[in-house]
Structure 1
Amino acid sequence: MRKLLASAWVCENDMTGYTFKKKSRLREFLGEKLIAANAFVALVAIALIFLFIFKETLPIFTNPEVQKEAGISRLLFKQQFYEGREAKWSWQPNSDVPKYSLMPLFIGTIKAALIAMLFAIPLGVGAAIYSSEFAPPRLREVIKPVIELLAGIPSVVLGFFALIVLASWLQKTFGLTYRLNALNAGIALGITVVPVIFTVAEDAMTAVPRSLRDAATALGANKWQVSFSMVLPAALPGIAAGIVLGFGRAIGETMIVLMASGNAALVSASLTDSIRTFSATIAAEMAEVVFGSPHYNVLFFIGTLLFVFTFLTNLGGDFVLSRLRERVQGRTR
């Protein structure tokens, strides 16, 4: 006991004898301004990117010549392109009668993203639950880096895998008519989304206080009951954040859907039909489009839609997260 008191007294004297260096007002001022400038530069960069994209979109709203070929009504609603035929949505910008309907691209984008989320959410959340609650420490040290390593695989490699291996396997197993389709592209997209959901969800579950687990265990709950009745509800805001981020990744992914979806702009509810997405359309056609043409302006309009859609998705996700935090953790003032 005397040794402990003596060591505590020595530590206290050492701490009281220590003096911090005097702050340099100039260095502190420069540090604060540098941090503020970095944040400001990021905001300005995002604003300039949006302004550039929107500037190239303006002719669709202001130029009568462009509006005759690619006006808003022609982009959003069914059109009768030939006399005597039914009005329909069609994307064929390089035909004799250019067609710029965006509905086939929108349906393809949503189908690929939804399939990706249906594939990735159970795997990502399930792996996060196992890693944080059930896996031994040594196994956890292996699982987490391996799953996160998927995020470092180039999307073109996953697209090539889906094009050569996954598409052939799905067609042989399920007897699909089209080898490259929404299902193939969605599963490949889901592989890229899994590490996003897993990382955020696993961190959220790990951050749940140990006292909650101990209290539930003391009341007689087993590991499954602790995980699903205590940890999972407490980590729900973080899990939802991972799902929102994963959905944004699936919407904006380009190379995988460009290589594995078939790139056919079809209006179909079937998950086994080929699709064409917004991002794949921009990647496939921007290099060959005539500068300043209606086709050029429509591609930038698609980029604007992606930008706005991603922004609204993140904004809606933040709103849902704030509501979940209030419900789970209580409102903070």
Structure 2
Amino acid sequence: MEKSISAKERLLKSKSSKSWLDGELRGKILVTLSAIIMISATIAITIFLGTKGLQSFLKNGVSPIEFLTSKEWNPTNKENPMYGALSFIFGSFAVTFLSALVAAPLGIGGAIFMTEIAPSWGRKILQPVIELLVGIPSVVYGFIGLTILVPFIREKFGGLGFSLLAGTIVLSIMILPTVTTIATDAMSSIPKNLREGSYALGATRWQTIRKVLIPAALPTLLTAIVLGMARAFGEALAVQMVIGNVRNLPNSILDPAGTLTTIITLNMGHTTYGSVENNTLWSMGLILLVMSFAFILFIRYLSARRKF
């Protein structure tokens, strides 16, 4: 009787062990397959965009130097077509950096308020606001900027209202949730002993925040800003509705401008696939991809410098 029971127990144990191994194997295959799909998609997009983006230089004879340094864009001129993308490159970088200058202090300030000034009720107020901003579609931001912000700038500052300033304000609001959320996580993850040690030495709350907590969280705070800039650099629709979409370099923040994303969305549907103009638009897309890689590499560098 005892032998039969022990044999039965061994059989049950072997079945459960086999079932566990099967589940472990299936889970491993599933996550490995997911990783392979993600890597393959990234490589495929990079190869496709790189191939299409280089055709204007290798196949159509467009000068890369002229493309990157000339501000004359007139691809429809049959006698002397010009493919200078400097104005759009400058517009993309200008609106990205300006929006980061606006969103960074606001987002980091909000994070400090939620974690250090009013941690008990600060998140109850700001967290729903941040979640609401995240959930608003970009077209709504653009429509609000078009109907409220552009007329306001036109009345108060003059000009058309469609300007680099309008694009900066819209983008800064759009990237603010990204900066605030990551900055809040960074401030919350700081060990308590840093705060306690600073207070024990007689530092005030503001001295602790300014001289201890912010330097400790600085790599992650910079990561939040860079992620916001990456989001702003690739935004198209909202910026297109308020920035003016011109081919010239802006002389001031109140002048209209254009970006790489806006010129691609405006012109891609009006070009013939494989034409020189179409290929130059793909080249602009390649610039966007390269900048995305640059942002990612910079974020990885900042992540390696984290102190906690």
TM-score with structure 2 length normalisation?
0.89
2:127 maps to which residue? 144
What displacement does 1:170 show?
A: 2.1
What displacement does 1:28 show?
A: 1.0
1:310 maps to which residue? 292
Supply the distance in 2 between the matched residues of 1:158 and 1:273 (Cα, whole angstroms). Answer: 20
Supply the distance in 1 between the matched residues of 2:99 and 2:144 (Cα, whole angstroms). Answer: 16
Q: Which piece of structure 1 moves more, 273-282 or 145-154? A: 145-154
1:10 maps to which residue? none
**SS of residue in 1 equivalent to 2:162:** coil
- Any idea what the Cα deviations from partners look like across 1:129-177, whole Å, max 9, x if unmatched? 111101151332221221232121111110111111011212322x232
Select which of 172, 180, 192 maps to 2:155: 172
Preserved CA contact (<8 Å) 2:186 2:221: yes
Preserved CA contact (<8 Å) 1:240 1:321: no
Amino acid corresponding to residue 60 of structure 1 in structure 2: S
Select which of 49, 57, 71 maps to 2:63: 71
The aligned runs of 1:251-262 (5 Å cut-off) are 251-262=233-244
Supply the distance in 2 between the matched residues of 1:277 and 1:196 (Cα, whole angstroms). Answer: 22
Amino acid corresponding to residue 53 of structure 2 in structure 1: T
Supply the distance in 1 between the matched residues of 2:224 and 2:288 (Cα, whole angstroms). Answer: 20
2:12 maps to which residue? none
1:43 aligns with 2:44: no
The aligned runs of 1:53-132 (5 Å cut-off) are 53-63=49-59, 66-67=60-61, 70-78=62-70, 89-96=71-78, 97-132=80-115
Supply the distance in 1 between the matched residues of 2:31 and 2:40 (Cα, whole angstroms). Answer: 14
Supply the distance in 2 between the matched residues of 1:242 and 1:139 (Cα, whole angstroms). Answer: 20
What displacement does 1:269 show?
A: 4.2
Supply the distance in 2 between the matched residues of 1:257 and 1:309 (Cα, whole angstroms). Answer: 18
The aligned runs of 1:26-41 (5 Å cut-off) are 26-41=22-37
Structure 1 stretches of 5 or more lacking a match? 1-20, 79-88
Amino acid corresponding to residue 37 of structure 1 in structure 2: L
**SS of residue in 2 equivalent to 1:235:** helix
**SS of residue in 1 equivalent to 2:269:** coil
Supply the distance in 1 between the matched residues of 2:257 and 2:69 (Cα, whole angstroms). Answer: 19
Amino acid corresponding to residue 33 of structure 1 in structure 2: I
Identity of aligned residues (%): 32
Supply the distance in 1 between the matched residues of 2:201 and 2:298 (Cα, whole angstroms). Answer: 38
The aligned runs of 1:123-272 (5 Å cut-off) are 123-173=106-156, 175-272=157-254
Amino acid corresponding to residue 75 of structure 1 in structure 2: F
**SS of residue in 2 equivalent to 1:24:** helix
Supply the distance in 2 between the matched residues of 1:220 and 1:162 (Cα, whole angstroms). Answer: 47
1:298 maps to which residue? 280
Supply the distance in 2 between the matched residues of 1:311 and 1:91 (Cα, whole angstroms). Answer: 26
- Any idea what the Cα deviations from partners look like across 1:42-86, whole Å, max 9, x if unmatched? 1111111122222223432332xx21xx332441344xxxxxxxx
Preserved CA contact (<8 Å) 2:268 2:281: yes
Preserved CA contact (<8 Å) 2:74 2:83: yes
Supply the distance in 2 between the matched residues of 1:223 and 1:31 (Cα, whole angstroms). Answer: 48
Supply the distance in 1 between the matched residues of 2:33 and 2:127 (Cα, whole angstroms). Answer: 35
What displacement does 1:30 show?
A: 1.8
Supply the distance in 2 between the matched residues of 1:202 and 1:59 (Cα, whole angstroms). Answer: 44
Structure 2 stretches of 5 or more lacking a match? 1-15
Supply the distance in 2 between the matched residues of 1:105 and 1:213 (Cα, whole angstroms). Answer: 46
Supply the distance in 2 between the matched residues of 1:261 and 1:240 (Cα, whole angstroms). Answer: 27
TM-score with structure 1 length normalisation?
0.82
Amino acid corresponding to residue 296 of structure 1 in structure 2: N
Supply the distance in 2 between the matched residues of 1:320 and 1:136 (Cα, whole angstroms). Answer: 27
Supply the distance in 2 between the matched residues of 1:241 and 1:76 (Cα, whole angstroms). Answer: 28
Amino acid corresponding to residue 179 of structure 1 in structure 2: G
